[in-house]
Amino acid sequence: MRAGKSFLILVPYLWLLALFLVPFGIVFKISLSDTALAIPPYMPTLDLSAGWAGVREFLSELDFENYVFLTEDDLYFKAYMSSLGIAIVSTLLTLMVGYPIAYGMANASERFRPMLMMLVILPFWTSFLIRVYAWMGILSNEGFLNQFLLWTGIISDPLVIMNTNTAVYIGIVYTYLPFMVLPIYATLEKLDGSLLEAAEDLGCGRIEAFWRVTVPLSRPGALAGSFLVFIPALGEFVIPSLLGGSSTLMIGKVLWEEFFSNRDWPVASAVAVVLLMILIVPIILFQRNQQAAQEADK
C-alpha cells in the first residue's frame, strides 16, 4: 500500500520534472550563454567527455549579461508593461462579457443548458489560427463590419480597427471567452436559490440580492476565469501579430523576433525566463484560490 501511494505521489513530480523543470533548466542555461554564429547559436556548450574539468570550465563561462542587457534597453521594459496592460484590460473586458453569459446559462432551463454549453465550447472545434484570420476579414477596412456599418448609414467612412490595440482586445476576448464563462457558470450552477429567496424576504430587491448574494458567492469562479484568461493573454503572440500589427508591442512578439529574426537565443531565453517569473505570481494566486474554493466546498 505504501509503495502504491508513493508511486502515485511520484508520478506528478516526475511529470513536472520532465515537462517543466528540465525545459526550464535548458532555457535558463541558454539565457546565461553568449550569442555565437554556430549550431547551436550560443556558447558555451557542455562537453561531458572532458569530465569535471569540462564542467567547471563550462560553468565559469556562464554569466548574467543578458539580464543586464534587458535592463539597459527600454524596449523590453515597454514590452512587459504593454503586455501587462493589454492582459489586464482584456481580462476585465472578458469578465464583463463572460459573466452575463454564464449568469444567463445558470438561470436557463435545465433542458437548454447542454445546448448553451455546446455553443460556448463550439469555437474550440475550429482551428485557433483560422478563427483569428476570420477576425482579420471582419475588422479590416473593407471587412464585413465596416461594410455593414456603411450599408446601415451609421458611419460615413470606414473605421480603422485593424492594426490597433482595439483589434487585439477583440481577438483576446473572443478567443478566451470560454475560459471565463465555464468557471463562472460552474460556480453559479451550484448556487443555492434559497439564499436569494431569503435575501428578498429580508427586504432586498432582486438587484440588491444579486450584488449582496450572487456576486460574492460567484467570486471564486470569476477569479479562476480571470487567471485562466490573464496568464495566456500576457504571453500571447498570434493575436497581436495578426490583428495588432507593428503598432502593438507585446512581449510574445519580442520573444519571437529575438528567436527567429535576430537568432539571439540567449537574449530570447532571458526574456522568456523573466516572463515566466512574472507569470509565477498569478499562477500561485490561482492555486491558492483553487485550494480555498476546495476547502470551502468541504
CB-based contacts of 64, cutoff 8 Å, min separation 6: 32
Q: Give the pLDDT of residue 96.
A: 96
Same domain, residue pair 89 and 187: yes
- Is 11 a domain residue? no
First to last CA, the chain: 26
Last residue of a domain, one of 63, 87, 117: 63
* Alpha helix segments (H runs only) across 236-264: 238-239, 251-256
Average the pLDDT over 43-54 and give the result: 75
pLDDT tens per residue across span 83-95? 999 999 999 999 9
Average the pLDDT over 154-167 and give the result: 87
CATH number of domain containing 95? 1.10.3720.10
pLDDT tens per residue across span 85-127? 999 999 999 999 999 999 999 888 888 888 888 988 888 888 8
**Range with lowest mean pLDDT among 49-63, 82-96, 167-181, 284-298:** 284-298
Q: Give the pLDDT of residue 282.
A: 76
Q: Give the pLDDT of residue 247.
A: 77
- Is 105 a domain residue? yes
Residue 168 near residue 239, CB atoms below 8 Å: yes
pLDDT tens per residue across span 125-151? 888 888 888 999 899 888 888 898 888
How many other C-beta atoms can be found within 10 angstroms of the C-beta atom of residue 181? 26
Query: Which residue is it, cell 534587458?
Result: 70
**Range with lowest mean pLDDT among 1-15, 126-140, 204-218:** 1-15
Q: How many CA atoms lie within 13 A of 31 on its CB side?
A: 21
Rounded Cα–Cα distance for residues 55 and 90 (Å): 46
Confidence bin at 52 (pLDDT 50/70/90): confident
Q: In total, how many domains does the chain have?
A: 2
Same domain, residue pair 143 and 47: no
Burial of 233 (0-12, 13-18, 19+ CB in 10 A): buried
Same domain, residue pair 217 and 270: yes
Residue 253 near residue 237, CB atoms below 8 Å: yes
Q: How much of the chain, in percent, has pLDDT values that exceed 90?
A: 23
Q: What are phi and psi of 236, to 5 degrees?
A: -60, 140
Q: Give the pLDDT of residue 2.
A: 62
Same domain, residue pair 51 and 164: no
Instruction: Provide the domain limits for residue 36.
Output: 21-63
Same domain, residue pair 136 and 58: no
Same domain, residue pair 29 and 144: no
Same domain, residue pair 150 and 33: no
Q: How much of the chain, in percent, has pLDDT values that exceed 70?
A: 93
pLDDT tens per residue across span 257-280? 888 888 888 999 999 999 988 888
Same domain, residue pair 173 and 210: yes
- Is 2 a domain residue? no
Average the pLDDT over 178-197 and give the result: 86
Q: Give the pLDDT of residue 263.
A: 86
The number of residues in the chain equals 298
- Is 211 a domain residue? yes
Average pLDDT across the chain, whole number: 85
Burial of 274 (0-12, 13-18, 19+ CB in 10 A): middle
Same domain, residue pair 103 and 47: no
Q: How many CA atoms lie within 13 A of 227 on its CB side?
A: 18
Q: Give the pLDDT of residue 203.
A: 74
